[in-house]
Amino acid sequence: MKFFLQCLQLLPLLVIFTLESLLKRFIPKKRKSVTGEIVLITGAGHGIGRLTAYEFAKRKSKLVLWDINKHGIEDTAAECRRLGAKAHAFVVDCSNREDIYSSAKKTAKAFLPAMMKNNHGHIVTVASAAGHIGVPFLLAYCSSKFAAVGFHKALTEELAALERTGVKTTCLCPNFINTGFFKNPSTDLGPTLEPEEVVDRLMNGILTEQKMIFIPSSISFLTVVEKILPERFLAFLKRKVNVRFDAVIGYKTKGQ
């Protein structure tokens, strides 16, 4: 009963913050500048990572690029330099802990102390819609993406608890993207996304400091209704969404 009464006392704040949130939807938020900012991008040798690196290069950020593919990461770095940015490429196997620690030593001095001391920075997690809603036959993939979303949420809360609110967090959760990772993916939520469209939305989310980016936006609706609708209706709804693909291919490096 005591908890219920405390919740009732918070209703005025709920109304105020809801109205504030609705108002912000109609007022374009000013984009922040990332010129001269140090930006570390993992998986920058291909796909979303590569295109994101190009966008930061156009804005004259200082780029630190990681990827397991030596040729891919060097090509990305060369293009970023052509666009006028400083870019440093490192071959890193992000599934290899020793590789991560070894390369992190070269970049940690430029990132972690400055972020925490200056209360300034931005950490972006690339997850998936599959990090919010389970998909049949993608058990391992969904597990990793749920972990990524959990990391983002826990990190956001931890930074708030440490009063480091100047260190921003963003999580990208798109539907299927046409990068070759899945063979013939499709869903009735909409057409398969093109990488350029996703990166455009991602950059807008970063520059306007959005916490969670769903592409398409209808995915956010599904994440809400999943928590409140009856289980049998949800099963019917998921059949209507009709997620399908022929195979998981994964990314290939040159020579494979």
> What was the pLDDT predicted at 112?
60
**CA of 120: how far to CAs of 60, 72, 105, 113, 211, in Å?**
18, 30, 20, 10, 16
Q: Is 141 a catalytic residue?
A: yes
Closest CA to 111 of 163, 39, 29: 39
40-49, 98-107, 130-139: which is most confident: 40-49
- What is the tens place of the pLDDT at every residue in 165-214? 899 999 999 998 887 777 777 777 778 889 999 999 999 999 999 999 99
Locate 126 and state its tokens: 């690339």
Three-state SS for 162-202 is CCCCCEEEEEEEECCECCCCEECCEECCECCECHHHHHHHH
Residue 110's pLDDT band, with cuts at 50, 70 and 90, is low
Q: Does pLDDT of 106 surpass 60?
A: no
Give me the residue label for tokens 């989310």. 205
Specify the amino acid at residue 17.
F
| Mean pLDDT value across residues 211-221 | 90
Query: What angle separates helix 47-58 from helix 195-207, to the nearest 10 degrees?
Result: 50
- What is the tens place of the pLDDT at every residue in 26-47? 777 889 999 999 899 988 999 9
Kindly give, in sequence order, each residue whose CB lies less than 8 Å from that of residue 182, ignoring residues fewer than 6 positions away.
176, 245, 246, 247, 248, 249
> Per mean pLDDT, which range of 23-27, 80-84, 174-178 is the poorest?
23-27
Locate 33 and state its tokens: 């500048």
Task: Please give the domain boundaries of the chain with CATH numbers for all domains.
Answer: 33-118 (3.40.50.720), 120-256 (3.40.50.720)
3-state helix, strand, coil in the chain (%, to 5): 50, 20, 30
Q: What is the mean pLDDT of the chain?
A: 83
Catalytic residue among 54, 101, 141, 251: 141
Kindly give, in sequence order, each residue whose CB lies less than 8 Å from that of residue 180, ignoring residues fewer than 6 positions away.
249, 251, 252
126, 47 in Cβ contact below 8 A? no
Residue 68, SS3? coil
Q: Does pLDDT of 15 surpass 80?
A: no
> What was the pLDDT predicted at 188?
72
Give the whole-number percent of the chain exceeding pLDDT 70.
80
CA distance 124 to 198: 14
> What was the pLDDT predicted at 174?
93
